[in-house]
Chains A and B, each alone.
Chain A
């Protein structure tokens, strides 16, 4: 059974940093791209970024320069480092698996971890 479990969320002050982690299990982690998607309270879904199985990355333009997504295939984990946090970064952050093969949709989602940026 595929499982994605996020951790690391919490309350952080504006300007602070936070590192989210996602532990993956139930599939061959090294074969899949992994994404982060966020959802502000009462709002829609926003793609944050991707780390490919080659460890190269893609980021949303609005976040580029403040985030780093990385992966550790030996630990089956993916991380999202966020710096210079703003109040508008308050959201539930989801770790998501990209299917791969001949489709790149998001086929498994974690339960999400809440990040609250507030003083």
Chain B
């Protein structure tokens, strides 16, 4: 199985900050990586797929990068609505696997 490791696990930041979440895969994924945002009590919402392609309707402040085994999700300027938990997911091979999540908290 491909292991997905996100860092940090928790991130404290302020409105207006630029933050970067990293996701590392135990094997090369090419660009078969997606990012999701989840708020408490809600289903995850897809943000980015193919490592850097924005889902329709997702604001441009969300930026995905990387390929192979190292990927990043950058939020260029945090808005109050962005405080949530973020997950990466690989879909290069079975089983599909997720990172453990990064909780983005208000500082």
Contacts and interface: CB of A to CB of B under 8 A. Distances in A.
Given A102-B50, A103-B49, A105-B50, 12 more contacts: A44-B100, A44-B101, A47-B96, A47-B97, A58-B95, A59-B95, A99-B49, A103-B53, A104-B91, A105-B89, A106-B34, A109-B43
16 contacts: A45-B87, A47-B96, A47-B98, A61-B95, A102-B50, A103-B53, A105-B49, A105-B91, A106-B36, A106-B46, A106-B89, A107-B49, A107-B55, A109-B45, A111-B43, A112-B43
Contacts of A102: 50
A26 to B, nearest CB: 15
Given A105-B34, A110-B43, A111-B43, A47 B95 contact: yes
Interface string A29-73: 000000100000000111100100000001111000000000000
Contacts of A109: 43-45
B97 to A, nearest CB: 7
B87 to A, nearest CB: 6
Contacts of B38: 45
Interface of A: 35, 44-47, 50, 58-61, 94, 99, 102-107, 109-112
Nearest to A106: B46
Contacts of A112: 43
Interface of B: 1, 32, 34, 36, 38, 43-46, 49-50, 53, 55, 87, 89, 91, 94-101
Given A44-B100, A47-B97, A104-B32, A94 B50 contact: no
A35 B96 contact: yes
Nearest to B43: A109
A113 to B, nearest CB: 11
A50 B49 contact: no
